[in-house]
Amino acid sequence: MFGPPGAGKGTQAKVLQETRGLPQLSTGDMLRAAIAAKSPLGQKVEAILAKGDLVPDETVVGIINERLNKPDAAKGAVFDGFPRTIPQAEALDRLMASRGKQIDLVIELKVDEAVLLGRAEQRVKETVAAGGTPRPDDTPETVRNRLDVYRRNTAPLVAYYAKQGKVVTVNGMAPIADVTAAIARALDAKAR
Ligand code: AMP
């Protein structure tokens, strides 16, 4: 599941987890869990996440490698927020190949930047209204940095996977159910 912060990757990955039994492998969630647990990894990455910068490639590749060893990932998985750099994508190709697997499909969720900034603000408001603590990296300043980082480091991955004929682009500004339906069509077409 590919796209800028706020594109809806997590929302759609969760749907695939529920409807197709494909576990959602979100490096962001794994890093936030490590921070909450105050583990050595969490302490190492906390300031990086707070700024909206990228955690070193070898760190996230390591946690994805471990995660892929769990039995629930054996029949397939949805990667959410990983890979985010070309070296991560190359490492993922190697991790998959060593397991006799491959990336089948890359869903690119396309959303205008102005919409993304609005969504981050909305996510903060809704979390506060529900009595929760908003993500510290959803402040407007950090979201802008996350968008810059995305443009610079992550957007080039579309070309990386397009060369392999794996990218299906979906309009991420459509209503959630329409995005879900478009992704389902892409997956079903691939399975045929
Ligand atoms: P996310 O929940 O996917 O938006 O990720 C939140 C933050 O975790 C990012 O802004 C990065 O600081 C860090 N992060 C998550 N995934 C990666 C990754 N694949 N590579 C580097 N940093 C990551």
Give the tens place of pLDDT for each residue, 34-76: 999 999 999 999 999 999 999 999 999 999 999 999 999 999 9
| pLDDT confidence of residue 17 | 96
| pLDDT confidence of residue 58 | 98
CB of 67 closer than 6 angstroms to any ligand 1 atom:
no
Instruction: Answer for the pair 167, 106: CB distance below 8 angstroms, yes or no.
Output: yes
| pLDDT confidence of residue 127 | 93
Mean pLDDT on 101-107: 97
Residue 152 to residue 118: CA distance in whole angstroms: 21
CA of 47 to the centre of ligand 1 (A): 12
CA of 151 to the centre of ligand 1 (A): 14
| pLDDT confidence of residue 99 | 94
- CATH classification code of 9-191: 3.40.50.300
CB of 54 closer than 6 angstroms to any ligand 1 atom:
yes
Asked if the model's pLDDT at residue 162 lies above 90, the reply is yes
Q: What is the pTM of this model?
A: 0.95
What average pLDDT is seen over the chain?
96
| pLDDT confidence of residue 11 | 96
| pLDDT confidence of residue 192 | 82
CA of 57 to the centre of ligand 1 (A): 10
* Test site for ligand 1: of 84, 90, 92, most ligand atoms within 8 A of the Cβ: 84
| pLDDT confidence of residue 178 | 98
Band (pLDDT 50/70/90 cuts) for residue 191 is confident
Q: What are phi and psi of 74, to 5 degrees?
A: -65, -30
CB of 31 closer than 6 angstroms to any ligand 1 atom:
yes
Band (pLDDT 50/70/90 cuts) for residue 135 is confident
Mean pLDDT on 77-94: 98
CA of 80 to the centre of ligand 1 (A): 9
